[in-house]
């Protein structure tokens, strides 16, 4: 392994982050210029933008036959998003959970996580199954467009300054195109560098995808959620993570499978360890989010501790089952949720 491998990896990571930032800025301005509501911008444009690095990396990995990296990137990102990002953001400030997330989006994340695990039981996600997932994100986006049809339009969209609107659209379009170009280049450098580093250290592509690449491609979500928590926009921090996870499962994993010549092969280790843990993390979110519609600091600390334990287990490679971490996580989450629900109920009665 040479220093060029690390330069390639870090350069790819920087290009992904900067490209995602440009894409989000450009796409958001285009959406506002074309009178798309703030709700739809948040649930679709921002979710796509922060998940664009995962999409670029998984498509690149699938194209060059590195299925473990493609699958591990999605599964690892979804685990990282909930346990690390929400855990860290909740330690900064307790996070509000929008009621709509508990009623629709979080249950949908649980169902989709389990559904992907079931689809992969034959050790592959076929092209047909990938197309099915891609259709799912189109339906979800269409529903959000329909649901947000009465949302108040952003001020930029209703401005009467006709002469200044066209140049702003051109600038927004150029920003979005530049972001996409950086995402393509960055994904190539990141994947190539990650594979070479993994081989030099004797670490499998699956583990690298679940940890190093997953954390790197999730940096836009980290920045968005932490900034939202610092600014007091705590419901945005949660919505960003859930929206990104849904996009990862449907658009990223679906596209990688659909555009692969023979679909995506899923390793036995991923079936026995990674996918079940992703499902458990999704299930744990529901009681934590539902109890008082808030994630407090104690629950955030639980999420972070679970992510650390999971990562240690991956790199040790001595445990074939996720349940030494998943079991205590489930039990602690339901106990904490029950305690918080009872405490808040007693406070409301008094």
Digit-coded pLDDT (tens) for 335-348: 988 887 777 777 66
| Nearest partner of 82 among 316, 313, 285, judged by Cα | 285
User: Averaged over 307-318, what is the pLDDT?
Assistant: 87
pLDDT, the chain, mean: 81
Taking the whole predicted model, whether its pTM rises above 0.95 is answered as no
**3-class state of residue 328 by DSSP:** helix
In the structure encoding, which two tokens stand for residue 332, read together?
Answer: 């602690």
How does 206-224 read in b/e, with b if 16+ C-beta sit within 10 Å?
Answer: bbbbbbbbbbbbbbbbbbb
pLDDT the model gives residue 192: 76
Question: Average pLDDT, stretch 315-340?
Answer: 86
CA-angle at 136, arms to 326 and 44, nearest 5°? 90
Q: Residue 74: how many CA atoms within 13 Å on its side-chain side?
A: 33
Tokens of 139: 């339906």
Nearest to 46 by CA among 60, 32, 62, 61: 32
Question: What CATH number does the domain located at 3-158+166-267 have?
Answer: 1.20.1420.30
Structure tokens at 55: 């999409």
> CB-based contacts of 176: which residues, under 8 Å, 6+ apart?
22, 23, 26, 27, 30
């Amino acid at each position: 392994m040479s220093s060029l491998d690390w330069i390639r990896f870090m350069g790819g990571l920087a290009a992904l982050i900067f490209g995602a930032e440009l894409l989000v800025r450009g796409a958001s301005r285009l959406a506002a210029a074309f009178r798309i509501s703030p709700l739809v911008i948040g649930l679709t444009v921002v979710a796509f933008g922060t998940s664009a690095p995962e999409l670029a990396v998984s498509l690149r990995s699938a194209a060059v036959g590195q299925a473990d990296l493609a699958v591990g990137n999605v599964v690892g990102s979804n685990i990282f998003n909930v346990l690390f990002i929400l855990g860290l953001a909740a330690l900064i400030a307790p996070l509000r959970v929008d009621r709509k997330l508990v009623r629709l989006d979080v249950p949908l994340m649980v169902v989709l996580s389990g559904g992907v695990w079931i689809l992969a039981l034959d050790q592959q996600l076929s092209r047909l199954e990938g197309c099915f997932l891609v259709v799912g994100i189109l339906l979800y986006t269409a529903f959000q467009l329909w649901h947000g049809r009465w949302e108040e339009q952003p001020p930029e969209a209703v401005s009467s300054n006709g002469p200044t609107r066209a140049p702003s659209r051109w600038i927004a379009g150029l920003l979005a195109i530049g972001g996409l170009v950086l995402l393509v280049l960055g994904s190539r450098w990141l994947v190539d560098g990650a594979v070479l580093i993994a081989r030099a250290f004797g670490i499998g592509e699956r583990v690298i995808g679940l940890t190093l690449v997953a954390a790197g491609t999730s940096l836009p979500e980290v920045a968005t959620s932490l900034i939202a928590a610092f600014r007091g926009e705590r419901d945005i921090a949660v919505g960003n993570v859930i929206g990104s996870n849904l996009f990862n499962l449907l658009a990223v994993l679906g596209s990688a499978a659909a555009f692969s010549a023979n679909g995506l092969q899923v390793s036995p280790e991923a079936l026995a360890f990674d996918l079940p843990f992703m499902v458990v993390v999704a299930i744990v979110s529901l009681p934590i989010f539902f109890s008082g519609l808030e994630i407090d600091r104690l629950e955030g600390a639980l999420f972070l501790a679970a992510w650390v334990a999971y990562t240690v287990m991956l790199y040790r490679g001595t445990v074939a089952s996720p349940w030494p971490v998943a079991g205590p996580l489930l039990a602690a989450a339901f106990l904490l949720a029950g305690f918080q629900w009872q405490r808040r109920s007693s406070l409301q009665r008094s």
